[in-house]
Structure 1
Amino acid sequence: MGFFSDMFENKNSNNINHEEFQNIIKNNKNTLVLDVRTIEEFRSGHIPNAKNIPVQELSTKISNLDNYKNNDIIVYCRSGVRSSKAADILNKNGFNKVYNLGGIGNYKGKLNNL
């Protein structure tokens, strides 16, 4: 990895691909899929059953996720930058099973729209 990717990589979360995403979902029905994009981005298309909390609001709404503290949480955004930041916030707040799908383009399934 290069200097910048080392600098911005989240060391506490596991980066996953679509196949790993599918395996986590298949093996744990209580997995939270967390979309940290804006509400407008979420409305334009999101992974089925995803919960939307924009990364800018995550710190103030972290208590809304307390029921998921011991569950797998998969975060994603548009490109992977916000999801990495969200994974870091979750890890710092005691969520230990955090997976970063990165950008929504890494998801190969059908998207839902609002």
Structure 2
Amino acid sequence: MDITVEELKERLDKGEDLHFYDVREEHEYEEDNLGAILIPLAELPDHLDELKDLKDEEIIIHCRSGARSGKAVKFLESQGFTNARNVTGGILAYRDLED
């Protein structure tokens, strides 16, 4: 299930405690990030142990445009995660909100 950038921004602005992950590469994250935990998409399988306690929790995943985070959500769902959510439009759409 997807989450819109508007909903994400509202929840971040409220200071909600989110399980929020960024699956871009490290250099992209260093240039601009929303405060999510960085786990590059290619490394996601190596981090399943640290995520396993979140299998039934909401996990919000974003990337640059929504493509990599979509793949991450599909992968997590294949591993039994029940509430992984893709940020539609990614950080590009999020930054457009702020302009």
- The answer to whether the superposition gives a TM-score over 0.5 is yes
Alpha-carbon contact 1:17-1:106 (below 8 Å) kept: no
Instruction: Choose which of 47, 70, 76 in structure 2 pairs with 1:90.
Output: 76
TM-score scaled to structure 1, two decimals? 0.71
Alpha-carbon contact 1:18-1:107 (below 8 Å) kept: yes
The number of equivalent residue pairs is: 95
Determine what percentage of the aligned residue pairs are the same residue.
34
Aligned partner of 2:33 in structure 1 is 46
| Unpaired stretches in structure 2, ≥5 consecutive residues | none
Is 1:73 the counterpart of 2:59 in the alignment?
A: yes
Alpha-carbon contact 1:33-1:74 (below 8 Å) kept: yes
Aligned-pair Cα RMSD in Å: 2.2
The DSSP-based 3-state class of the residue aligned with 1:99 is strand
1:2-38 deviations in whole A, cap 9, x for unaligned?
A: xxxxxxxxxxxx1221232246555962x21110000
1:59-96 deviations in whole A, cap 9, x for unaligned?
A: 12211212322221111111111011000111111111
1:93-113 deviations in whole A, cap 9, x for unaligned?
A: 111111110321232577xxx
| Unpaired stretches in structure 1, ≥5 consecutive residues | 1-13
Larger fraction in helix = 2
- Deviation, 1:46, is 0.7
Larger Rg belongs to: 1
Runs of 4+ in 1 over 6 A off after TM superposition: none
TM-score scaled to structure 2, two decimals? 0.80
